[in-house]
Every structure is written in C-alpha cells, then in structure tokens.
Chain A
C-alpha cells in the first residue's frame, strides 16, 4: 500500500483565497483524522471521521474551515477565505478503528498564506 497520500505537498496562496487540501487514506481504514501543526500550538486535532461520518469537529477553529469525506477513499479540508494565521502543516491520518490501533500519517501539506 502507498500509505496515506496528501496533496498538494506545498501550497502558497494569497489571503482571502480558497484553499482545498486533499487526502486519500489507506484502503480498508475506516477512521480519518485531520491535524494541524504549528510551532506555537503543536499538533492539533481538527476533525475526525468514522465510516465517512464526522464524529468530532470540535477542533475546527472557525466557520472558515470545513471538511468532507464523500467516500471511504477521499477527504478534503477546505479553508475559505484563508488568512495568514492559517499557515501551518496540515496532516491527514487514517486507522482501522480499535483499541491501540496505529494511526498512519501522510507527509503533510505545508500551507503558506501571504
């Protein structure tokens, strides 16, 4: 398996633009997570899905952020409009639900909003 695949790897956009980050989880996994990593706040869980259904989105910072999982093999995280403070590395991870299950991370998308 190719692992969790995220695209793009790098994104530079201007403030106010819409940004869409994409994730393909490992085949057979039924849980998917979106994390944001910054120097100031470390690794924050934004939202997670189980069987394509959002279970906990309490970490989504505000209404500008939205996430979807239309099927088991694809998820998006959208920021509209983007702001400079959204600059961070965004990680997607997937796992097969169960106690002690290992989460597999993608390589991340480095977002820079100028």
Chain B
C-alpha cells in the first residue's frame, strides 16, 4: 500500500549547520507531497508542498524537490536556527484527501 518512510531521529545539529531529512514514498499514481512541522505542544502545520514531479516547495529557508525517479522528497535547509527545533513529518496525499504521514523526525538545534 501507499506509505512514507523518513529517516529516524533525533537529528542533532549546531546552529548554522546544513540540514537534510530524507523522505521516500511508495504510491500508486502521482501523489502530492508535503512537509509538516510540529512544535512542542502544538498540532502539525504545513511547512511546504509540491504537487507534481520536479516541483520545488520552499518556505522559511526550507526546500524540498519532488523527485519521481527516486520517489523522494528530501527536506533541506542551508543554515538551521535554534528556533527550527521541532518534529518534521513528510506526507503524501493522493487524489483523495487521505494524507499518509511518515513517523516524524525530531530535529534538535543547539547554539
């Protein structure tokens, strides 16, 4: 069935380091792909998305490119900040509304 696999955390970085969180998916058809972020004590909120192959989603310095050939949607940021510490979820959505999430990756950024 459809699924999302993302790297396990926690990912621990120093401020201003480069971030990559890997995400791959399996799907029938061509889903939309999303990254959501969850700050402590809050619900998930959309960080960025891409709806077709080769699209790049970007927001707040984060980027991810929809790679159909590798079924991937890796999240990157060139220089992380302490305020980026959160749990990041990769997700896919098909032609229905059903959103399938990965298990989440906790990011910890230290000054």
Contact of B99 among A33, A42, A108 (CB under 8 A): A33
Task: Name the CB-closest residue of A to B43.
Answer: A105
Residues of A close to B17: CB separation below 8 A: none
B6 shortest CB reach to chain A, Å: 10
Task: Name the CB-closest residue of B to A89.
Answer: B43
Contact of A97 among B41, B45, B46, B97 (CB under 8 A): B97
Residues of A close to B99: CB separation below 8 A: 33, 45, 93, 103
Classify the interface of chain A: helix, strand, loop or mixed.
strand
Tell whether A114 is near chain B: CB-to-CB under 8 Å: no
Alpha-carbon separation in the docked complex, A106 to B38 (Å): 11
Residues of A within 8 A of B (CB-CB), count: 25
Contact with B along A36-68 (1 / 0, CB 8 A): 000000110100101000011000000000000
Alpha-carbon separation in the docked complex, A103 to B92 (Å): 11
Tell whether A34 is near chain B: CB-to-CB under 8 Å: no
Tell whether A82 is near chain B: CB-to-CB under 8 Å: no
Q: Contact size class for B?
A: 20 to 34
Number of contacts between A and B (CB, 8 Å)? 60
Tell whether B98 is near chain A: CB-to-CB under 8 Å: yes
A100–B51 CB distance below 8 A? yes
Tell whether B89 is near chain A: CB-to-CB under 8 Å: yes
Residues of B close to A100: CB separation below 8 A: 32, 49, 51, 93
CB contact list, A3-48 vs B, under 8 A: 4, 31, 33, 35, 42-43, 45, 48
Q: A102-B49, A107-B42 are in contact. Are A55 and B96 (CB under 8 A)?
A: yes
B97–A101 CB distance below 8 A? yes
Alpha-carbon separation in the docked complex, A62 to B100 (Å): 20
